[in-house]
Amino acid sequence: MITEKPDPFDLEATLPTGETAPGSPSQHRPGVGSAMPRVRSFGRTDMGLRRKNNEDAFHVDGDLGLCVLADGMGGAAAGELASQIFAQTAVEVFTCHGTSTEDEVLGLLQQAYRMANERILSHVQEHPGHAGMGCTGEILRFFDERFAIGHVGDSRAYLFRSSELRQLTRDHSLVQDQVDQGLITREEARRHRLRNVILRAVGTKEDLAVDFVRGRVLPGDIFLLCSDGLTDMIEDKVIWSVLSTAGRIDEKVDQLIELANRAGGNDNVTVVLSEVLEIP
C-alpha cells in the first residue's frame, strides 16, 4: 500500500505566504487547453447519530469541474450559515469567471476564500449573537489535465491513485501541530480531547492563510473531500479499503457514511468523491 519510489502523485504544494514549498517548481504551469478532464462526481451529507442539526455543506458541479465542502462552527444556526456562505461564494466565483491557466485557477481560489471570509465577518458584525462562527473550507477544481485544491481547517482532501491513498491536505488543528512536533502520536491525536480545536478557519480573522495543492490528473484517479465527521470515526486504511473495491462512486459515498455512523456517528459527516474517467 505504501511505495516510496517512484512517487505516482507528483504533487505541488503552495505555502500560505505564496512561497513555493521545497521541491516544488517555482513557476505555476500554464494550462495546455480549454478541455477539462471528464469527471464523475457525487456527494452526500448526513447529520450523524449525535447531532440535532447539520452544519456541513457541499456542492458538486460537473460542468464547472468544481467540488466544494465546508464544516461550520459557532453554534447551530451560525455554523450552518457559515458553511453555506462559503459554498455559495465558491460556486459564485467560479460560475462568473472562466479559467484557462493554472494561475487563473489559483487566483479564483484565492478570491473565493477572500470573499467568503469577508462575507462571514460582515455577517457577524451585523449579527453579534453569531460571534465565533466560521467554517472549514475545501475547494477542488479540475482544468486541462490538472487539478487545484484550496484548503483551510481540518476537513480533508485525499487522492486515491494506483492503489495508494494519500492525504493531500494538512489539518490546521491543535493536535496536528502536536503530532508534527512529536509530542503525541497520530493514534493519540485521534482520541485526544482537544482534537476538534482548529487553528485556522474561514470567517474568524481578517487575514486568512490558505493552503494550495495542485498536480496532474490521471484516468482512474479518485479524489475525496470529507469533513472530520468521517476521519474522526474511521481510519485511512478503512477509507482505502472502500475506494479500492469495484463499484460506483455513489455507492462508495454511501458506504463511507454508513461506516462512520456505524463507528459512532459522533458528528455530521459529508463525503464528496470525484472519479477521473477520461482526459481529452
- Show the domains of the chain with their CATH numbers: 35-169+201-278 (3.60.40.10)
CA distance 19 to 27: 10
Q: For the chain (length 280 residues), average pLDDT per consecutive 10?
A: 54 52 33 71 97 96 96 86 98 87 94 98 94 96 96 98 97 83 78 80 96 97 98 96 97 98 97 95
Residue 150's pLDDT is 98
275 Cβ neighbours under 8 A, 6+ residues apart: 39, 40, 41, 220, 221, 222, 223, 249
Q: What is the pTM of this model?
A: 0.89
CB 12 within 8 A of CB 21: yes
Residue 168's pLDDT is 98
Q: Is 54 helix (H, G, I), strand (E, B) or coil?
A: coil
Residue 71's pLDDT is 98
CA distance 231 to 234: 5
Residue 13's pLDDT is 65
